[in-house]
Amino acid sequence: MASAKPAATAHRSDSGVMERRAERERTRRNWLLSAPALALLVIGASGPLIIVLVYSFMTPGDFSGVEWTPTFDAWVQIFFTRDIFDDTLGLADAHLSIFWRSVRLSLLTTAITIVFGLPTAWFIATRPGRARTFWLFLITIPFWTNLLVRTFAILEMIRNEGLLNTWLIKLGVIASPLQIMYTDTAVLIGMAYVYLPLMVLPLYAAIERFDFRLVEAGYDLYANRLQVLRRVILPIVKPGIVAGSILVFVPSLGAYVTPRVLGGGKNMMIGNFIELQFGQGRNWPLGASLSIFLLLIVMVALLYYVRASTRGSSHD
């Protein structure tokens, strides 16, 4: 009490001093509260990315690691190979085919998950109260089930002695097993399967908030079902589609487990190719430059998402 009095009289002449002090105090407290989490994230996630960046400009060591000789080789190697005999640069076809496969399979995965995910999300969002929670629960279980377990489940279905082939042969549809494993198709099936819930959940969130009176208004103004879908529903749930696409595309592009298990050694994606550089390839700088390269592509996708979603919200 005694200390409060002079402070109160002092601030009368000096406008807002106490206010500013309280504000500073709050900001300081907020930072202090967040600091331990940030410290851990910097040590265990963000900080090491800088080391990767540094390594990408170094020379490969003999067995692993790097020599501390700066060079752009690792970045050049992403796209080009140096001819052993005449030392000229040529396009690295093997690398390009890996990139192309990664992008192609990721885009296809995104498309497949939209086709299956939109009706599924719509179905869940239009269930009445308790039933909705139940269906939402059903879509969440695979989402949180171990990625490896789900990939393994697909493996069990599609391998030559797997359930799919066994049944097709039993039913007389085919005579010998279909070779699906270790093809791009296997990777595609696997990725669509494991990432489908990532598409359904944001779509569900978008549709759940959807005001169905707008659909009624659409029908009232003589639109048929297809026109209502195209002109009313899709534009409004578009932010959900964009969010879902990013959530599927980004991990697809960096996928490691699914292509490794279902695609085998031949049908590599960028993730497996990066790992190879740290294992048999013994080219840490190339692995590092590939990692940063992948990160850059992802950042571009995220930036597109941020722009698309802010533009979307300005419509509301």
Partner 1 sequence: MTRTSPRPFSVRRLPGFTAIAITCFVLLYAPIVTIVIYSFNAGDSVALWRGFSTKWYTVAAGNQIVQEATLRSLVIALWASGISTVLATMAALGTTRARNYRGRTLIYMLINQPLMVPEIVTAVALLIFFSSIKIATGYSGLGYLILAHSAFCIPFAYLPIRARMEGMDLALESAAADLYATPWQTFRRITLPLMAPGIAAGAMLAFVVSLDDVIITEFVKSAGQDTLPTYMLGQLRRAVTPEVNAISTALLALTVLLLTVFFILSGRNTARS
Partner 2 sequence: MTHETAIAIRGVSKIFGPVETGLKALDNVSVDIRRNEFFTLLGPSGCGKTTLLRMIAGFETPTNGAIELDGTDITAEPPFRRPVNTVFQSYALFPHLTVAQNIAFGLEMLGRGKDEIKATTAEMLALVRMEAMAARLPAQLSGGQQQRVALARALAPRPSVLLLDEPLSALDLKLRKQMQIELKRMQQDTGITFVFVTHDQEEALTMSDRIAVMDAGHILQIGSPRDIYERPANRFVAGFIGESNFLDGTVLAAGPPARIALGGGQELSIDTADSPAAGQPVTLAVRPEYVLLGAFDAPGSLSGRITNLIYFGTDMHCHLTLDSGEELVARIPSGLSGKEGLETGAIAGVSFAPGALRIVGA
Which of the listed partners (partner 1, partner 2, none) does 157 bind, with a CB threshold of 5 to 8 Å by partner kind? partner 1
Torsion angle, alpha carbons of 172, 175, 180, 181, to 10:
110
Rule CB under 8 A: which of 122-151 touch partner 1?
122-124, 126, 133, 135, 137-142, 144-150
Q: How far is the CB of 26 from partner 2 (least distance, A)?
A: 12
Count, residues in the chain = 316
Contact set for partner 1, span 168-207 (CB under 8 A): 193, 196-197
Contacts of 269 (CB under 8 A, 6+ apart): 98, 101, 102, 105, 187, 253, 255, 256, 259, 263
Tell me how far apart the alpha carbons of residues 155 and 163 are, in angstroms, rounded to a whole number: 10
19 binds, among partner 1, partner 2, none (CB under 5 to 8 A by kind): partner 2
Residues from 275 through 314 that contact partner 1 (CB under 8 A)? 275, 278, 284, 287-288, 291-292, 294-295, 298, 302
Whether the Cβ atoms of residue 213 and residue 78 lie closer than 8 Å to each other: no
Contact residues toward partner 2 (CB under 8 A) are 4-5, 7-9, 11-12, 15-16, 18-19, 22
**Cross-strand pairs, 89:** 82
| # chain residues binding partner 1, by CB under 8 A | 91
117 binds partner 1 (CB under 8 A): yes
Of the candidates 95, 254, 267, 276, which one interacts with partner 1 according to CB under 8 A?
254
Between 83 and 156, CB nearer to partner 1: 156
C-alpha dihedral (178, 182, 187, 189), degrees to nearest 10: 10
Segment interacting with partner 1 (CB under 8 A) among 3-11, 14-22, 235-243, 250-258: 250-258
Contact of 153 with 146, CB cutoff 8 Å = no
